[in-house]
Amino acid sequence: MKILTIIGARPQFIKAASLSRYLKSLSGIKEIILHTGQHYDSNMSEEFFSELDIPTPDYNLQVGSDTPARQTAKMMMGIEDIVLKEWPDFILIYGDTNSTIAGALVGAKLHIPIAHVEAGLRSYDRGMPEEINRVVSDSISTLLFCPTETAVNNLKKEGIATGVYNVGDIMLENYQYYKGKAQKTSTILNNLNLKFKKYILCTIHRASNTDNTENLKNIFIGLTNSKETIILPLHPRTKKKIDQNEFLKKYIDQNIKIIDPIGYFDMICLEINAKKIVTDSGGVQKEAYFNKVPCITLRENTEWVETIEQGVNQLVGVDPKKIKESINNFHPQKQNYSKQLYGDGKTSAKIIEILLSN
């Protein structure tokens, strides 16, 4: 069996690490890795491949940044060339990025079966580009590997029931595998002179926030007014926006410390030791749950509804007052983290078993 794995962004590198590691241990399966180059910053790409021991991609399209339509189109052209050359038995896609939908569309048009890892997620906000990518990719995928029963039910509501499997969350598997190594090898706490539970970790990367100066300003006001030490690993898009705006610059170095993009091990270490996590990332919401750290989400909705239902995640949007209030006063109970929301950490084995049987 030949599998073409298509990845292009940080969350996909993390997810692919588990499955690629498992595939390497098996005979009779050849994995071909195609990196679209969606994340083109070396700190957000090469470091992840190195840390997570992901095989060097067989192909790298190096598409870089562009408008959504142009970026997706360039990806599709490159992916199509490689599919026609390799003719894989399956195209394996992850998550909800432009790389995801580009791979799905090429596979569907060339009649190559598509396996979608992290299928069935819905925020029910069509204003999010990721939501469009999810809905379209799921509608044309052959095998849909869901992380939760909620995701399975979302697909049922859309009339998708064939080829749907709840395999648990592959990010949980990767987190469990690397947590110990991250704690042993990361030096980021010492480098930044940080103490256990004495800082707030923040990530801001969604275009709806970083490309909207008013939203970004409100987030910074809320963070500053909390009076807590804020550690903000900076996405290239966010850094560009701040560098272009004198008003935003004035908030830096009050209580907000901006650091360069970091690798997976450093991120795990910062998450484990954080007092709270403030984010607009879907994946970081889950990682907060894995680490039993309260999460504050800078969005009006989330695809990870289980964290809201469990009372360990609050949606605050970009309201400065809500951001400050949650940072200062949101204190979930320990028992809120007791449920096994995202499976048993054996997702890769389940996926491979299903792929081999189809």
**Going from the N-terminus, what domains does the chain have, and what CATH number goes with each?**
2-169+343-356 (3.40.50.2000), 177-337 (3.40.50.2000)
Q: pLDDT band at 45, cuts 50/70/90?
A: low
Residue with tokens 């069935």: 120
* pLDDT given for residue 41 in this prediction: 62
Q: Helices 264-273 and 282-290: crossing angle, nearest 10°?
A: 60
- Residue 201: both structure tokens together: 């970790």
Higher pLDDT, 96 or 254: 96
| pLDDT surpasses 60 at 216 | yes
Percent share of the chain, pLDDT over 70:
97
- Between 157-166, 200-209, 229-238, the lowest mean confidence (pLDDT) is in 229-238
* pLDDT given for residue 42 in this prediction: 58
- Residue 244: both structure tokens together: 């272009």
* pLDDT given for residue 47 in this prediction: 73
Q: What is the distance between the alpha carbons of residues 74 and 72, in angstroms, rounded to a whole number?
A: 6
Q: pLDDT band at 40, cuts 50/70/90?
A: low
* pLDDT given for residue 312 in this prediction: 97
Mean pLDDT of 248-274: 90
* pLDDT given for residue 227 in this prediction: 96
Residue 197's contacts (CB-CB under 8 Å, 6 or more residues apart) are: 273, 274, 275
pLDDT tens-digit profile of 75-132? Answer: 999 999 999 999 999 999 999 999 999 999 999 999 999 999 999 999 999 989 999 9
Q: Helices 282-290 and 10-24: crossing angle, nearest 10°?
A: 60
Whole-number average pLDDT of the chain: 93
- SS3 for 200-232, per residue? EEEECCCHHHHCCHHHHHHHHHHHHHCCCCEEE
Q: Helices 10-24 and 347-356: crossing angle, nearest 10°?
A: 70
| pLDDT surpasses 90 at 330 | yes
Most confident stretch, 152-166, 208-222, 258-272: 152-166
Q: pLDDT band at 233, cuts 50/70/90?
A: very high
* pLDDT given for residue 44 in this prediction: 57
pTM of the model: 0.92
Q: Is 25 exposed, middle or buried (0-12, 13-18, 19+ CB in 10 A)?
A: exposed
- Between 75-84, 161-170, 232-241, 284-293, the lowest mean confidence (pLDDT) is in 232-241
| pLDDT surpasses 90 at 237 | no
Q: 6, 69, 9, 7: which is closest to 235 by C-alpha?
A: 9
Q: pLDDT band at 43, cuts 50/70/90?
A: low
CA dihedral angle for residue 173, residue 174, residue 176, residue 181, rounded to 10 degrees: 160
Give catalytic residues, as residue numbers. Answer: 205
Through-space distance between the first and last CA atoms of the chain, rounded to whole angstroms: 11
Mean pLDDT of 330-337: 93
Beta bridge partners of 315: 297
* pLDDT given for residue 241 in this prediction: 75
* pLDDT given for residue 61 in this prediction: 96
Mean pLDDT of 129-139: 96
